[in-house]
A = this chain, B = another copy of it.
Amino acid sequence: MNVVTSLAELRAARALLEEPVGIVPTMGFLHPGHLSLVRRAGIECASVVVSIFVNPIQFGPNEDLATYPRDLPQDLAMLGDEHVALVWTPTSDVMYPPGFQTWVTVEALTERLEGAERPGHFRGVTTVVTKLFTGVQPQRAYFGQKDAQQATVIRQMTRDLNFPIDIVICPTVREPDGLAMSSRNAYLDPVERRSATVLFRALERAQAAFTQGERDAETLRNVVSAVITQEPLADLQYVSCADCDTLLELHGHTDRALLSVAVRVGRVRLIDNVILTAN
């Protein structure tokens, strides 16, 4: 497993990789959710590239850039046990050298949900993912369903900018009690950790109602928020029952939807989602 930092090293190492190449973009502090992407890429691609970069431009001024968990030695040890050909660990100076001034922006899809709560976040994501794509030149790229809006935005960007890359979205990996795996779960103290299961409990309750025939979007949102407001440590930021492609909020009867929530548990902001589908 080759580990490179500079763009020149990356290009030289990339040129030697057997194709198709799959990329798994990460911000490090890897968990089984990341590894599920790495393994899926390993099945579908001749070579797997993992990038590890805590991307400063996708954090807002009041967000957790400084405290975001990092552990590169452990990340590399975990990846060393997988079929990974190349790890790219660029520094901020490699990604954003002095004078950097080019941005990639997706418009409509980023206006709601996480985009509304975190202004500038998706601009940072789409800009860095563009640079990962042009740097690594993969044939496939792997992202998690847990960040559902990010997946939709990156799919749109890839299509809009003609990148010849298949975007593969992999299922959310969960702890035994249902909490979606996330590097940010490391922020939770034991009491908060127990409360944090409320996101998936609420989504499961709505999923069950949907399975039993409930099709009204507003009712499904209410099922989620009713569960979350019963949890004392949880502060609901939004609950959304939206079109899976446009992310526009649904009203009335729906046979297919992205049901998503954002909740603060203590000072930790968590998101989760399920896709409701009648088939």
Contacts and interface: CB of A to CB of B under 8 A. Distances in A.
A11 B109 CA distance: 27
Most buried by B among A102, A103, A108, A126: A102
Contacts of A102: 104-107, 126, 156-157, 160-161
Nearest to A94: B162
Q: Which 7 A-B pairs have the closest CB atoms?
A: A102-B160, A134-B162, A101-B107, A135-B162, A131-B162, A103-B105, A102-B157
A164 interface: yes
B161 A130 contact: yes
A14 to B, nearest CB: 10
A11 B107 CA distance: 27
A105 B161 CA distance: 13
A218 B42 CA distance: 62
Each complex incorporates copies of this chain amounting to 2
20 contacts: A11-B164, A99-B156, A100-B160, A101-B106, A101-B107, A101-B109, A101-B156, A102-B104, A102-B107, A102-B126, A102-B161, A103-B104, A104-B104, A105-B105, A131-B161, A131-B162, A134-B161, A134-B164, A135-B162, A137-B164
A139 to B, nearest CB: 12
Given A11-B164, A135-B162, A164-B11, A108 B101 contact: yes
Given A101-B107, A134-B163, 20 more contacts: A7-B162, A11-B164, A99-B156, A100-B160, A101-B108, A101-B109, A101-B160, A102-B104, A102-B105, A102-B126, A102-B157, A102-B160, A103-B104, A104-B104, A104-B105, A104-B161, A131-B161, A131-B162, A134-B161, A134-B164
A156 B162 CA distance: 20
Nearest to A126: B102
Interface residues of A, number: 26
A108 B107 CA distance: 21
Contacts of A163: 134
Interface in A118-159: 126, 130-131, 134-135, 137, 156-157
Nearest to A101: B107
A113 to B, nearest CB: 16
A147 to B, nearest CB: 18
A107 B131 CA distance: 17
A193 to B, nearest CB: 38
A7 B103 CA distance: 24
Interface in A152-208: 156-157, 160-164
